[in-house]
Amino acid sequence: MVTDAPSPAPPVGLRESKKQETRQLISDVATGLFLAQGFERTTIAEIAAAARVAKKTVTNYFPRKEDLALDHQDAFVASLAATVTGRPTGESALAALRRAFTDAAAAADPVAGFSGPDFARMIADSPTLGARLRDLHDLREAALADALADATGVPRDDITPRTAAALLGAVHRTLFQRIQDLTLAGQDNERISATVLTEAHRAFGLLEPALADYATA
């Protein structure tokens, strides 16, 4: 009897590509539902049905419902630490972070807070997403503190990098919220960028006396 030979397994690259496609599909479907009916009112079961996947598939890719809405969270948490780690020789942590924020604001980068009015409203209306966003700010500040400790050669529990990270993190939190508030007020990205670039100059300037030369590469 002649039998069909088993189909060869797809290349690893193809499998990974399919995973990324599925993940993006679920994320896109979830975002559409969140914007249409609100984050709190949308269920994982509804997302799975709309994406035509099993509920377990959704939770495999996104263990928490908040992960579906805040899909840039890994980049967000790593952003400040990555800027410090990658700064050129002779540049302080403050100068590097100011430069990076200026570039992000000019480009209306979503990681800096430029999410658009519908998304900003969704976050503002959801206590769950608001709490998760505060957690992400905390995680980003902790990652920055570790990067500053490593850059200055002190233990990661040393008070100096932790304090510096708290100050720098506070400026970024304030500017992020400012962008969200201006978005909800109906301003377009060009106008918001112009406003926060001016305000960022003042906000970062407040840290100059303490941190101008701190953690210079």
pLDDT at position 98? 98
Alpha helices, H only, 38-158: 44-51, 55-61, 65-69, 73-85, 93-106, 117-124, 127-152
> Where in the chain are all domains bearing CATH 1.10.10.60?
12-68
Closest listed residue to residue 161, CA positions, set 173, 172, 152, 171:
152
* Residue 130 structure tokens: 């608001």
From first CA to last CA, the distance across the chain in angstroms is 72
Is the pLDDT assigned to residue 2 strictly greater than 70?
no
> Where in the chain are all domains bearing CATH 1.10.357.10?
73-211
Task: Please state, in angstroms and rounded to a whole number, the distance separating the CA atoms of residues 197 and 71.
Answer: 25
- Superfamily name with CATH number, domain 73-211: Tetracycline Repressor, domain 2 (1.10.357.10)
- What is the rounded average pLDDT for all residues in the chain? 93
- pLDDT interval class at 10 (50, 70, 90): low
Q: What are 139-192's pLDDT values in tens digits? A: 999 999 999 999 999 999 999 999 999 999 999 999 999 999 999 999 999 999
**Contact at 8 Å (CB) between 36 and 50?**
no
Task: Please state, in angstroms and rounded to a whole number, the distance separating the CA atoms of residues 67 and 79.
Answer: 17
pLDDT at position 76? 95
pTM over 0.85: yes
* Residue 147 structure tokens: 């990067």
* Residue 204 structure tokens: 């970062």
Q: What is the mean pLDDT of residues 98-122?
A: 95
CATH 1.10.10.60 corresponds to the domain 12-68: yes
Secondary structure of residue 63 in the 3-state scheme: coil
pLDDT at position 23? 92
pLDDT at position 12? 57
Q: What are 62-74's pLDDT values in tens digits? A: 999 999 999 889 9
